[in-house]
Structure 1
């Protein structure tokens, strides 16, 4: 055994034990972004319930609004929040049980418990507003009192407790207006819930002008909410239906035409791979995973410290730019390792890293995107049942959801929709998939490379959906034999995700 193989073996075990394994296990305790997305969409729906339309067009506006928000939207939204609370309570119980088994709580576990407790209190504030809005003031008061009692038991001076006291006072009989009510409501509540609380406050204070201005502002937001709901609801639905039709067409064509069908094209054609598994391991161990650690944990933090920059004080634009720089450094380092690993095999056999502009890559990429939509959506629904809102998500998604700044969104877009597709498709479809055909049939190489692609994102809840997406990317690449096709598909997917996040995040 050579020294190189010993070092590679050591690095592989080290990364599995101290980086990949802990990252995946750590993500098990983290909430999925999907749960937040559902609540963000619910918040848009709540705004839409207030839309009255233009004068003289109330009937048409009501028909459109009802088609988008459905029957009994408040009850449905309340149910959504109640389910989110119950899931959070389940996860909190699991986290506390896990903490009892440990000799000392980890910082991550303490943070998770605190976040879940705060989330439950925040949801109860909103559930109380639902109840009060539907004439159940006594139940609402009990809900807010439960928040106050929980925080008093912990001797906590939380903002949630102050907000609960203010809401309780506003809906009590007789009403009681506490000091700084307006400022606290604006700070603690958002969206439709802020509107309802402020409306109750201004009505109690008999501030007609402030109430009139509030209702006018809410009408503008409600009109925008209707448009956003149409986009985030109708567009994916149309894409889903077209995708189902496309999949049925491809399967029927495969059954009728056999090896002459689009799905069977190049399906059994392997690449001529001049290197062995040692080179594959070298590229991913030393090039991909190790470079992530070196850049993210050592190079970038040390550089920022030398420049006197404190990331805790970064605004969203700065965070977006930092993510972009970090990604570029990791990608550049990994591609350099890739080049160094295969340099001795140049020139490569025909078909490797093929970029052909005058080809049908747009056709393959867009078709693959439509086919991926129903597959990934269905797998994601199953995935939600498995992980019950846990399993973590890509941190970039949370940042993008918070983004109301177009400059920050533009930086995220360049990172996720341009840099990521180019780098990841070169590495996973351009290098890994063809390399694996030395040892596996093409379909086996597609599945294996897709699973590694999913695991590389280091979130347990994303393994199944990303493996499914990776399989579609692999099929598109092996059939088209043009890296531009999966790059285009990958870019479309990430672009659609970012746009949806921005629309939902700007819903308040």
Structure 2
């Protein structure tokens, strides 16, 4: 409970009623704080009897657990208003991740492996094993970065814990619905793109070559694209970026902005729209459940579907 005191001076003619010293009354006020925290306040005014009357009032505000939970249950997004990363710390951390981890490892890692081995090109199995190692390094680097730039009392494991105030929101059901919506949206955008720009092969020739090379390559592909990559990208783009943005703006704006940055950081102009749609679906899933398990599962299922299509066609 907190109290604030403001002195209030006012003049009025003396009267017989002014002899009542210490008169006070209480009025219930309901205050709303952005984005969903609510306070119930009581106003107490005390007036003293002097020629120049002096009055002061106190506001006592108290936030109960029930009120807080009810506030979280309203609306689509259940993300907390308090972010572990705020202000300049958000953008400096994001810039460090992109320019010191994501670009050097994701786009330059294979070149380093090629130089170390001393060959002009890598065999498919060697390539996917190198990608697996690079992704694990980036994942660990991202975890360490986010851990040491967040507030001391915050733990990254809270991304994967259910909020007690939204127990009715099943993250497994949300994942199933989100995956279905994602596949439908991507199918529709592919149809529109084929009508406008002509049809393109649905499979990835490089990925298909890796999948067909050996059993080890297939297992490594499954680990990279269905476990490591979804975990890495969801922790960074939804857990870190979307959580931070949603504390300073409305959730639709936060989802759109985080999805645009997520898509741009893949550095693929022809896939920008589809990646943006993927980011929006994953972001909405995270906002609705408040649990990072949902977007991670959707991401894994989508990548698994991509691997199956590349392997069969």
TM-score range, shorter chain: 0.5 to 0.7
Query: Hey, what does 2:219 align to over in structure 1?
Result: 410
**C-alpha offsets along residues 429-479 of structure 1, whole Å, 9 cap, x if unaligned?**
111111001321011111111111111111111111111111111111111
CA, structure 1 residues 274+397, in 2 after alignment: closer, same or farther (shift >3 Å)?
A: same
| Residues 353 and 431 in structure 1, CA contact (< 8 A), matched pair in contact too | no
| Residues 287 and 335 in structure 1, CA contact (< 8 A), matched pair in contact too | no
TM-score normalized by the length of structure 2: 0.66
Query: Hey, what does 1:493 align to over in structure 2?
Result: 302
Q: How does 1:108-507 map to 2 (within 5 A)?
A: 266-267=76-77, 270-295=80-105, 301-302=111-112, 305-306=115-116, 309-342=117-150, 345-348=151-154, 353-356=159-162, 360-385=170-195, 397-402=204-209, 403-404=211-212, 405-504=214-313
**C-alpha offsets along residues 2-48 of structure 1, whole Å, 9 cap, x if unaligned?**
xxxxxxxxxxxxxxxxxxxxxxxxxxxxxxxxxxxxxxxxxxxxxxx
Give the whole-Å Cα distance in 2 for the aligned partners of 1:315 and 1:421. Answer: 25
Instruction: List runs of 5+ in structure 2 lacking aligned partners.
Output: 1-73
Instruction: List runs of 5+ in structure 1 lacking aligned partners.
Output: 1-263
May I ask how many residue pairs the two structures share in their alignment? 236
CA, structure 1 residues 397+327, in 2 after alignment: closer, same or farther (shift >3 Å)?
A: farther
Greater strand content: 2
TM-score normalized by the length of structure 1: 0.42
**C-alpha offsets along residues 371-401 of structure 1, whole Å, 9 cap, x if unaligned?**
11111211233344555579x99xx944222
Query: Hey, what does 1:42 align to over in structure 2?
Result: none
CA, structure 1 residues 294+361, in 2 after alignment: closer, same or farther (shift >3 Å)?
A: same
CA, structure 1 residues 336+311, in 2 after alignment: closer, same or farther (shift >3 Å)?
A: farther
| Residues 477 and 486 in structure 1, CA contact (< 8 A), matched pair in contact too | yes
Aligned-pair CA distance for 1:348: 3.0
Q: Secondary structure at the match of 2:120?
A: helix
* Bigger Cα Rg: 2
Q: In angstroms, what is the RMSD of aligned CA positions? A: 3.3
Give the whole-Å Cα distance in 1 for the aligned partners of 2:146 and 2:161. Answer: 17
